[in-house]
Amino acid sequence: MIEVRTASVTDVASIVRLGKELRDSSAYANKSFSDEKATAAVTTLVTSDTDIALVAEEAGIIMGFLLGGLTYEWFSDDLFAFDYSVYVVPHKRNGRVAIKLFKAFEQWALQKGAVAIQLSISTNINVEKNSCFYQWLGYEVTGKMFEKRL
């Protein structure tokens, strides 16, 4: 059975390993990966009051993660939550793992006083399917993301 929980420092290495899998299988594959930087970043998220690292675990094995944070609009005092990164191992993508991760993220955001959550799909993995999934969860399309390699 899949359980979602807040990550601890002991989960950092597993999240970094999965983050490398995400990079290797996505639009980020042409970018370098620093284990040291990723470890420091995830450790910061795990220990922060304004960020969160969630893990989905089954039988002691982490099957996915959601890394998120809180910030304010530059023009407003409205607090909103956002995702840094989300990843679910391929063989668990059509189950309830992602649903449980997002529901836990939404609860955390509500508890922190966020008025909205903004999500993006920057990996170019299953963009249409993920867009439909986000809409099924109740999110609305509010724009597009673009990148130009230099």
- Flag whether 16 is in a domain: yes
Instruction: Please tell me the total count of domains within the chain.
Output: 1
What kind and span of H or E run contains 133? Answer: helix 127-136
In which band, very low, low, confident or very high, does the pLDDT at 91 lie, cut at 50, 70 and 90?
Answer: very high
pLDDT above 90 (res 65): yes
Q: Among 136, 74, 129, 141, which Cα is nearest to 99's? A: 136
- Mean pLDDT score, 22-33: 94
CATH number, position 123: 3.40.630.30
- Domain enclosing residue 22, as ranges: 3-136
Give the pTM: 0.94
Average pLDDT score, the chain? 95
- Flag whether 35 is in a domain: yes
- Mean pLDDT score, 122-136: 91
Report pLDDT for 146. Answer: 87
Place of tokens 């609009």: 73
Report pLDDT for 118. Answer: 96
Report pLDDT for 61. Answer: 96
- Mean pLDDT score, 87-108: 95
